[in-house]
Amino acid sequence: MTPSRITIFGSGNLAWHLGQALFDAHYSISQVYSRNQANAEELAFQLGADAISSTEDFDDSCDVAIFAVSDNAIAELANKVNFSGQLVLHTSGSTSVEILKNNAQHYGVLYPLQTFSKFRPIEFRDIPLLIEANTPNNLVNLKGLASALSSKVIVADSYQRRQLHLSAVFANNFVNHMYTLAYELSKKTGLSFDILKPLIKETALKATLTDNPSIAQTGPAVRHNSEIIKKHIEMLCNQPEMQKIYTFVSESISKYHHTEHVS
Amino acid sequence: MTPSRITIFGSGNLAWHLGQALFDAHYSISQVYSRNQANAEELAFQLGADAISSTEDFDDSCDVAIFAVSDNAIAELANKVNFSGQLVLHTSGSTSVEILKNNAQHYGVLYPLQTFSKFRPIEFRDIPLLIEANTPNNLVNLKGLASALSSKVIVADSYQRRQLHLSAVFANNFVNHMYTLAYELSKKTGLSFDILKPLIKETALKATLTDNPSIAQTGPAVRHNSEIIKKHIEMLCNQPEMQKIYTFVSESISKYHHTEHVS
């Protein structure tokens, strides 16, 4: 089977980017489902597909059905659909592949390890796609599909995927929160957040040039410079939330480097 | 006064990059000081300067003396030098300009808001340089010098500079520690850290495209997805340090976005 006709469930950021990547790779998008018909229509229009907002309208002649919906919607939604032997995929980092087994015979996971914003274009070919399927045959088919979209296809089981999703929470969610706290602090100076942007870029670039980002660690905590740390903690006395994070992450940096990278 | 002959105290990462930038901007580097004569010679050789390792050998005919040394070494070192009216600068984010007043008549601060590694080339013109001086006249001279090195020269007083240095601890040091924890987690999968690199790059790029990075916040904490958060905390049961950071930063994200960006 070479999958050719694909139905997408979902109309969020990932559904948009994945839909576009499939379209660009010359897959035919059969249907786009969203609870909200207008949302389904907006994306379906982009992809030359039909829009549906009821699972009963699912056209079971498609070869692949992809659930690009929020984690807690996958099972409920998938259980409402009458599949007829197509490959059924979800796109979640933290959800086991087995969540699809009740209702589908052929199933798997296609998890893109990236952060998506609807209107920010992204080079899909560079996105690592973690794949898993319930049979070797389905894995071969899924690999074909994934390889048409990205040059970085990695077979990963549910444990590996879950663990990488947790890594991504640190590398994206928590990093972005650190940016947000830095922004809050910079705001108090009356100077623009732009001043921090070259540092943000260089910090990320340095990490991507190493096999282990701990090598690039700098600052008072890794130097055990208790005088500066004390001063910083005093400066944060009116922001107890940030003060706690400062203290806590500094301790963690200090401990981590003290124990020579054994976490 | 157009400063033309400069002496650099220090031979660390910043001294290297700043020295090179001054050299490239056609300033003449008079002397390089380091406690360690070999280190002084290595950098002095690059810059066509003389190497010294005793403050007594300071040639007071230079126009500018720059202390690119660690924060806690500035005062002690500067107090040993006999200045003769040149502009004396330090390069520290967290140190008041007044630390130089005991021994110098003309003094100021030239603080580059960036992370430096000795052998990683960096575009100095893009680095924000925060400047401050003890008199309007010295500020004019310092501005001339800084503008020859960077297109982003910002006049900032000691409070603003200290506050931005603290922001930089979040945007660089703490971000890098999040990368390190992500690396540790990814290691357990047996898969390469490379898988996380496109995410790291995109996360930073997104932040540099916004006026307020909180807009780009994603993940279970901002969605208040307690099921995933609970699962992640369980996954970290053997890493109490990371578990604490996970819990803590998630709480902070959740609170921050709950209170609509009022920190």
Candidate from B166, B186, B195 with C-beta closest to A235: B166
User: What percent of chain B shows pLDDT beyond 70?
Assistant: 97
79-138 in chain B: CB under 8 A from chain A: 94, 113-115, 117, 120, 122, 126-128, 130
Kindly report each contact of residues A37-41 with a partner whose C-beta sits within 8 Å and lies 24 or more positions away, as own/partner.
A39/A11, A40/A11
Indicate whether B3 pLDDT > 80. no
- Are residues A84 and A63 in contact, defined by beta-carbon separation less than 8 angstroms? no
Candidate from B208, B212, B220 with C-beta closest to A201: B208
Cβ of residue A177 closer than 8 Å to a chain B Cβ: yes
Q: What is the pLDDT of residue B30?
A: 97
The residues, ordered by sequence, that sit 6+ positions from A257 with a Cβ below 8 Å of its Cβ are: A214, A217, A222
Indicate whether B123 pLDDT > 50. yes
Q: What is the pLDDT of residue B263?
A: 34
Q: What is the mean pLDDT of residues B32-58?
A: 97
CA dist A74 and B185 (Å) reads: 26
CA atoms within 13 A on the CB side of B190: 6
For residue A110, the cross-strand partners are A131
Q: What is the pLDDT of residue B119?
A: 78
Indicate whether B127 pLDDT > 70. yes
Q: What is the pLDDT of residue A263?
A: 33
Residue A49 in tokens: 């597909």
**What separation in angstroms does the CA of B199 have from each of A130, A171, A249?**
14, 7, 22
pTM: 0.93
Candidate from A162, A185, A198 with C-beta closest to B167: A185
- Specify the residue for token string 């969610």: A173
Please tell me the distance in Å from B14's CA to the nearest CA on chain A. Answer: 13
- Are residues A37 and A60 in contact, defined by beta-carbon separation less than 8 angstroms? no
Cβ neighbours of A191 in B, within 8 Å: 154, 156, 160, 164
Give pLDDT tens digits for A204-219.
999 999 999 999 999 9
State the best of A160, A181, A211, A254 to mutate against chain B, taking most chain B CBs within 10 Å: A181
Residue A202 in tokens: 């260089």
Give the three-state DSSP class for A75.
helix
Indicate whether A1 pLDDT > 60. no
Q: What is the mean pLDDT of residues A112-117?
A: 93
CA dist B22 and A232 (Å) reads: 31
Cβ neighbours of A228 in B, within 8 Å: 71, 94
- pLDDT band with cut points at 50, 70 and 90 for residue B262: very low
Cβ of residue B222 closer than 8 Å to a chain A Cβ: yes
- List the one residue out of B94, B34, B35, B87 whose CA is nearest residue B65: B87
Q: Are A171 and B248 within 8 A, CB to CB?
A: no
Please tell me the distance in Å from A53's CA to the nearest CA on chain B. Answer: 24
Indicate whether A72 pLDDT > 70. yes
Q: Are B189 and A163 within 8 A, CB to CB?
A: yes
Please tell me the distance in Å from B205's CA to the nearest CA on chain A. Answer: 7
- List the one residue out of B175, B167, B180 whose CA is nearest residue A201: B175
CA dist B145 and B218 (Å) reads: 42
Q: What is the mean pLDDT of residues B26-53?
A: 97
Cβ of residue A220 closer than 8 Å to a chain B Cβ: yes
Give pLDDT tens digits for B62-110.
999 999 999 989 999 999 999 999 999 999 999 999 999 999 999 999 9
Please tell me the distance in Å from B60's CA to the nearest CA on chain A. Answer: 32
Residue B235 in tokens: 């996954």
ipTM: 0.94
- List the one residue out of A7, A18, A107, A19 whose CA is nearest residue A55: A7
- Are residues A30 and A8 in contact, defined by beta-carbon separation less than 8 angstroms? no
Cβ neighbours of B209 in A, within 8 Å: 120
Q: What letter represents residue B3's amino acid?
A: P
Indicate whether A260 pLDDT > 90. no
Please tell me the distance in Å from B245's CA to the nearest CA on chain A. Answer: 7
CA dist B173 and A172 (Å) reads: 15
- pLDDT band with cut points at 50, 70 and 90 for residue B257: confident
Candidate from A163, A170, A191 with C-beta closest to B154: A191
- pLDDT band with cut points at 50, 70 and 90 for residue B223: confident
- Specify the residue for token string 């207008």: A38
For residue A7, the cross-strand partners are A31, A65
State the best of A120, A199, A229 to mutate against chain B, taking most chain B CBs within 10 Å: A199
